[in-house]
Amino acid sequence: MRSLAATVDGVSVCLPAPATVLDACRAAGAAVVALCDHPSLRPAPSCNTCQVIVNGMLIRACAEPLRPGAAINTVGSAAVSARRQSLAKVSLGHPVACSTCHQSGGCELQAGLAASAPVVVEKNTVTRRSLATHSKTLGPTIALHKELCVGCTRCTRFVAEVLHRPILSLHASHGRIANLQIDEAADFNVPYALALTELCPVGVFEHKEDRTGTIPLWSQRSAPSVCAGCATGCPVWLHGNGQGVKRVSSRGGAHYLCNDGYQFFDERGLLRLAVPFTANAVASWDRALAAAAALLAPAMNAGSLAVVFSAQSPTLDLAALSAFAVERAAVAHVYSNLHPDGDATPPLMSTNKNPNAASLIALAPKSRPITSLVDDIGQGKVTAVLCVGVESVTPETHPALFEALGGLTALVVASSFEDALTRQAMVSLPLATVEETTGSFVNGEGVAQSFAPLHSPAGDALAGWDLMNHLSRLLGIEIGFASLNDARVWLKRHHPALCPTQGGA
């Protein structure tokens, strides 16, 4: 791949080709706002807010391909005043209502105006316009705030290019493109409709489930993460205030998500398992782990222990389980739980609903489907089962399995949520979720992507590798996963392909 070197206000940057001048400006951290440009859409320069000087010429950065050795000037007075004029033009008639607007703090126009202040709107006849109190609704999840529109055309291009349903259009009025027309009969309950909420730079489309609005800006936190909804593994940002995920937004990749992605981290109507239970009574970690070990040890020694891997677990959890069951204890019965295939909607959503199936296959190569556990229990080959991170196995989906599980001498379940499986278990151990731990997933294309915690684990929950380290020690096996670093070292030595290329595991 060819790389392009350029300087932005004296700062040198190097980008892979092809790139635009705007990419170079962004890479250098220059305060250039581009309202109409969006990385996932074809350029349609209309807002002119990204003008910079290249080789003495004033150009629109979003539409100009970057040439090697270009000297870009973003702070020249010509560029600054041109950008100010364009910003003034697009913000003409935009409500002067930042203090009550839902988009405040995440608004690209707001950031641009503040960065290039003062942007004086001379002809502003609307001196004090507030937001409409009653917003229209599009579909079940989108609230529409038409008065915010600045005519950047991102939404119309998105519906045409990605949704292929021209249900939105823009019309010029009074010399300004900001008259958003909506096809009243159109159905907005379609996949990717929620992407409009992230695409719009000024918040014309509001995601009704966005709960960051109630969090003061100064206590908001964000963490880089990965969507665990399907095998595509879209990189996402999680936003919250330390108590759950309040909003999801895309992080690179396609620069938008599918509807399920935006809603993946919503409260799923599940109860969190926050403390260890033994026989449905709250126990301390020490007691619960001792009880689990006491239950599993006889079966392990007798060779009738079964371990269930889950394709929803992060790689390090699977690695710890693999180090215990496959490498050290050589457990004969290894099973895996995979979600069944579901709908796929291009361009992002995949049929494979397991975020980490690739790791599972690499770390537990001889595993069999969880359904075959029924026969093995029935034949008496398996008397004790350890499940880690197994989700969505319910009596409705697996009636035979639940019947069989009743005949076990020991069932130990580590899970993030309380479900039928944990209620059936003799010992249930709380597991931290994706938004609570550091870890990684390997997506359908075999790319390992790491995620970071947004907040600390709920209650006493532990990461899977940590839990397995304690449990295996009590079972007389040292897997050596004492710290995150140790776990990474193990993975790097045994399965380098599963390690994320940069950053941690």
Partner 1 sequence: MTKARGANVQRNQRLVMDLPEAAGDSLGLVLGPSHPVLRGSARIVLEVEGEAIRAVDVQVGLLHRGFEKEAESSPYDQTLLLAERLNYVSPLLSAAGYALAVERLLGIEENIPMRARRLRVVVCELSRIADHLTCVGATALSLGASNAFFLLMDARARLWRLLESLAGPRLGSPYIRLGGVNSDLPDDWIAGFRTFSPGLRQTVWRVDQLLGENPMFRERTRGVAILAKQDVQGWGITGPVARASGVLCDVRKDNPYFGYEDFEFDVPLGDVGDNWDRYCLRMEELRQSLRIAEQAIGRLATGPVIVDDPRIVPPAVELRQTQVWAQASLFLLATAGPIIHPGEVYSAVESANGELGFYLASDGSARPKKCRVRSPSFANAAALGPLLTGHFVADVIPTYCLFNIVGGECDR
Partner 2 sequence: MKAALDWAELEGVLRSSAEVLEGQGQISGLQWAHVHRKSWLTSSTYLANDGWSQFVDLSATDHFVEGESAKAAGRFVVQLIVGKGAARVALRVSLRLAELTLPSVAALWAGAAWFERELFDMYGVRFSSHPDLRRILLYPEFVGHPLRKDYEKARRQPLLRVGPLSQLKDGPK
Instruction: Say whether residue 191 binds partner 2 (CB under 8 A).
Output: no
Is 463:505 a contact under the CB 8 Å cutoff?
Answer: no
Closer of 228 and 326 to partner 2 (Cβ): 228
Residue 490: closest CA among 467, 462, 469, 474: 469
Degrees to nearest 5, angle at CA 354 with 348 and 358:
100
Partner whose footprint covers residue 96, from partner 2, partner 1, none (CB < 5 to 8 Å by kind) = partner 1
In angstroms and rounded to an integer, the radius of gyration of the C-alpha atoms of the chain is: 27
Partner whose footprint covers residue 121, from partner 2, partner 1, none (CB < 5 to 8 Å by kind) = partner 1
The b/e string for 388-406 (b: 16+ C-beta within 10 A; e otherwise) is bbbbbbeeeebeebbebbe
Partner whose footprint covers residue 143, from partner 1, partner 2, none (CB < 5 to 8 Å by kind) = none
Residue of 329, 402, 484, 494 interacting with partner 2 (CB under 8 A) = 484
Q: How many C-beta atoms surround the C-beta of residue 297 within 10 A? A: 16
Closer of 27 and 186 to partner 2 (Cβ): 27
Instruction: Say whether residue 504 binds partner 2 (CB under 8 A).
Output: yes
Instruction: Say whether residue 27 binds partner 2 (CB under 8 A).
Output: no
CA 86 – CA 324 distance, rounded (Å): 62
Closer of 89 and 251 to partner 2 (Cβ): 251
Sheet with 410-415, strands from edge to edge, namely: 281-282, 277-278, 427-430, 410-415, 384-388, 305-310, 333-337, 368-369
The b/e string for 427-437 (b: 16+ C-beta within 10 A; e otherwise) is bbbbbbbbbbb
Only segment of 101-109, 212-220, 271-279, 483-491 that touches partner 2 (CB under 8 A): 483-491
Closer of 121 and 400 to partner 1 (Cβ): 121
The CB-of-52 to partner 2 minimum distance in angstroms stands at: 27
CA 97 – CA 379 distance, rounded (Å): 70
Instruction: Say whether residue 223 binds partner 2 (CB under 8 A).
Output: yes
The CB-of-491 to partner 2 minimum distance in angstroms stands at: 13
Helices (H), 348-398: 357-363, 373-378
CA 325 – CA 328 distance, rounded (Å): 6
The CB-of-503 to partner 2 minimum distance in angstroms stands at: 5
Report strand pairing: 221-226 vs 235-240.
antiparallel
SS (H, E, C) 102-114: CCCCCCHHHHHHH
Chain positions contacting partner 1, by CB under 8 A = 29, 87, 91, 94-99, 104-105, 107, 109-111, 113-114, 116-121, 124, 127-128, 216-218
Q: Half-sphere exposure of 182 toward its Cβ, with a 13 Å CA cutoff?
A: 17
Partner whose footprint covers residue 128, from partner 2, partner 1, none (CB < 5 to 8 Å by kind) = partner 1
Instruction: Say whether residue 243 binds partner 2 (CB under 8 A).
Output: no
366 Rama class: left (phi>0) / alpha (psi -120 to 50) / beta? alpha
Partner whose footprint covers residue 197, from partner 2, partner 1, none (CB < 5 to 8 Å by kind) = none
Residue of 224, 298, 444, 480 interacting with partner 2 (CB under 8 A) = 224
Only segment of 350-358, 418-426, 478-486, 491-499 that touches partner 2 (CB under 8 A): 478-486
Enter the tokens of residue 214: 């109630």
The CB-of-218 to partner 1 minimum distance in angstroms stands at: 7
Closer of 128 and 493 to partner 2 (Cβ): 493
Closer of 5 and 126 to partner 1 (Cβ): 126
Only segment of 38-46, 117-125, 421-429, 477-485 that touches partner 2 (CB under 8 A): 477-485
* Cα→Cα distances 25→32, 36, 50, 59, 71, Å: 7, 16, 10, 13, 11
Q: x/- contact string, 420-439, with partner 2 (CB under 8 A)?
A: ------------------x-
Enter the tokens of residue 435: 């938004």
The CB-of-372 to partner 1 minimum distance in angstroms stands at: 53
The CB-of-450 to partner 2 minimum distance in angstroms stands at: 8
Instruction: Say whether residue 503 binds partner 2 (CB under 8 A).
Output: yes
In the range 447-466, which residues lie near partner 2 by CB under 8 A? 450, 452, 456
Which stretches of the chain bind partner 2, using CB under 8 A?
223-224, 438, 450, 452, 456, 483-485, 503-504
